[in-house]
Structure 1
Amino acid sequence: MRVLDPVSFVLRKKGCDIWFVPSDATVYSAMQMMADKDVGALLVIDQGQLVGLVSERDYARKVILLGRGSKDTPVSEIMVESPITIAPECSVDEAMRLITTNRIRHLPVVCDGKILGMISIGDLVNWIAFAQDHTIEQLEHYIEGKYPC
């Protein structure tokens, strides 16, 4: 387990649930789903195609701060269109670089046009901590002369 591990490992560990709304859904219904699923963002999918991503941040900045109503604003008006995506074989390190460089918090994982899941900065941080704990444990065993049989 390392930062060079592919993001497919992260998806396997966290689960591949895909939560989404259509672009014509109301922002209110999207926020309700985020609350129900305990997630900070949803994919926006129309006719099986990824068309955007909507997050709590979008809601705060594009609805609340502008005095708009969430029950009459469609997701299409606040979503990030054509979000940055990542392939499942991309490394955790590269995913973290994309998130940091682009100042985003979520990356849809896509392979050949098929949506496999979504990872967040929190998922990556958890993976890195998990990998570091594993490395430390291996080093301690090595120092103590304990080798797996």
Structure 2
Amino acid sequence: MEPDIRQRNHIKELETSIPNIFRSLSSQCGGYENANFSIKDIHNQVTKQRRQLPDDLNFAMAYLETLPTRDQKLFYSVEKDTKRLDYDLFGDVLVFNTTYKKNRYRLPAVIFLGVNHHNQTVVFSSVIVLNERKSTYV
């Protein structure tokens, strides 16, 4: 199975879909009936490897911080405290939206937003949560 995993990783780096990876690996075994793995095994392996990757948020933030050194025209800034200020100023209209499992990790994304005095959307907070239990939202 280890050579299959290495080959699956190589194929995945080429942005090939999991069904196409399964089809390719199965054909090398002489067909689906001869493969010692299923498409579900490939999905499980991909999920396992994704969980071992560095934290996406910290990785993305670190990457964004390097961009201005490469391109002097690019500006990057993060101001965490402004979200609290925005909420204090524009918290009259509130929207709590959960996008159910529509992201890469098939987990609920929660967005808490409002409207400013220019009728523009203001995002107060966003998060991907592990479950939809009441205690999670509290």
**Normalising by the residue count of structure 1, what TM-score does the alignment of the two structures yield?**
0.21
The structure with higher relative contact order (CA 8 Å, sep 6+) is: 1
- Asked which structure has the greater CA Rg, the reply is 2
Q: Determine which structure has the larger strand proportion and give its number.
A: 1
**Normalising by the residue count of structure 2, what TM-score does the alignment of the two structures yield?**
0.22
